[in-house]
């Protein structure tokens, strides 16, 4: 499967010094006129002096993703913060393929910043999205914020069973 999408763009990845992702992203855009670079981040809530604020957290420390025309070499000049441009084993090709390319294309659809998911709270009715309980609908009993889990009760073999599930696999109904 080709890494190029319908408009002739392909996706690549630079491995860099952790903490220098934003500088590398800016550098790639400065030295490559036809490339666009992002640092994958997610919006998270942080409590500062009893006030909730939104901050960005880097999803993949040490990695910067870029898109560029699918044709060409796209050599990114060496930079003190760039360790290497990841390449396909065997061919040395900078383009990402398969699931890697799909993930980066998806990140670009959000311009690298993944927003908050729809909030769920105690008592909300939710659907389980994966695992052996997939498509089961139940209520949230309580949360463990530190472990990012929710306690739910499901009927299993005619018994009500309580179990902890990760937030990511729950969807508000």
CATH number at residue 24: 3.30.70.940
Q: Are residues 54 and 106 in the same domain?
A: yes
pLDDT tens-digit series, residues 74-107 = 678 889 999 999 987 767 788 998 889 999 999 9
Number of Cβ atoms within 10 Å of the Cβ of 132:
7
Pairwise CA distance, residues 118 & 154, whole Å: 22
The answer to whether residue 24 sits within a structural domain is yes
Of the two residues 71 and 162, the one the predictor is more confident about is 162
pLDDT at residue number 156: 75
Element holding 81 (H helix, E strand) = none
pLDDT at 2: 45
CATH of the domain at 159: 2.30.30.30
Torsion of CA 94, 95, 99, 102, to 10 degrees: 130
Domain membership flag for residue 43: yes
Averaged over 1-29, what is the pLDDT?
A: 85
Res 46: pLDDT: 79
> Could you tell me if residue 78 is inside a domain?
yes
Flag whether 119 is in a domain.
Answer: no
**pLDDT tens string 115-131:** 766 667 788 889 888 88
Residue 152 in domain: yes
Q: Mean pLDDT over residues 149-154, rounded? A: 90
Q: pLDDT digit string (tens) for 19-65?
A: 999 999 999 999 988 899 999 998 887 788 888 788 889 999 999 99
Q: What's the rounded Cα separation, in Å, for the pair 100 and 40?
A: 14
- Neighbour count for residue 56 (Cβ, 10 Å): 13
* pLDDT over threshold 60, residue 5: no
Rounded Cα distance between 41 and 19, Å, is 13
Task: Tell me what pLDDT residue 71 has.
Answer: 81
Q: Do 155 and 85 reside in the same domain of the chain? A: no
pLDDT for residue 3 is more than 70 = no
- Which residues have CB under 8 Å from 86's CB, separation 6+? 12, 13, 14, 15, 94, 96
pLDDT higher than 70, residue 111 = yes
State whether 53 and 92 are in the same domain.
Answer: yes
Q: How far is CA 86 from CA 3, 15, 46, 95, in A?
A: 14, 7, 33, 8
Cβ–Cβ contacts within 10 Å for residue 82, how many?
A: 19
Q: How many domains does the chain have?
A: 2
| In a domain? residue 120 | no
**Token code pair at residue 36:** 């666009």
Q: Which of 85, 114, 143 is the last residue of a domain?
A: 114
What is the per-residue pLDDT for 91? 74
- Last residue of some domain: 114, 141, 163? 114
Which of 64, 84, 114 delimits the end of a domain? Answer: 114
Q: Range of 55's domain?
A: 9-114
**Do residues 153 and 76 share a domain?**
no
Question: Which residue from 137, 2, 132, 110 is spatially nearest to 56, judged by alpha carbons?
Answer: 110
pLDDT for res 1 = 41
- Is 4 a member of any domain? no
- The answer on 75 and 109 residing in a single domain is yes
Query: pLDDT at residue 6 above 60?
Result: no
pTM over 0.85: no
């Amino acid at each position: 499967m080709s890494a190029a999408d319908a408009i002739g763009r392909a996706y690549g990845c630079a491995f860099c010094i952790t903490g220098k992702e934003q500088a590398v992203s800016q550098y790639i855009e400065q030295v490559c006129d036809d490339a666009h670079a992002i640092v994958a981040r997610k919006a998270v809530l942080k409590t500062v002096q009893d006030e909730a604020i939104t901050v960005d957290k880097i999803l993949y420390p040490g990695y910067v993703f870029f898109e560029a025309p699918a044709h060409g070499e796209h050599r990114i000049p060496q930079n003190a913060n760039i360790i290497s441009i990841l390449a396909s084993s065997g061919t040395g090709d900078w383009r990402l393929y398969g699931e890697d390319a799909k993930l980066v294309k998806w990140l670009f659809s959000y311009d690298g910043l993944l927003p908050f998911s729809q909030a769920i709270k105690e008592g909300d009715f939710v659907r389980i999205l994966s695992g052996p309980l997939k498509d089961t609908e139940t209520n949230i009993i309580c949360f463990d914020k530190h472990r990012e889990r929710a306690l739910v009760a499901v009927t299993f073999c005619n018994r009500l069973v309580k179990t902890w599930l990760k937030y990511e696999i729950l969807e508000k109904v």
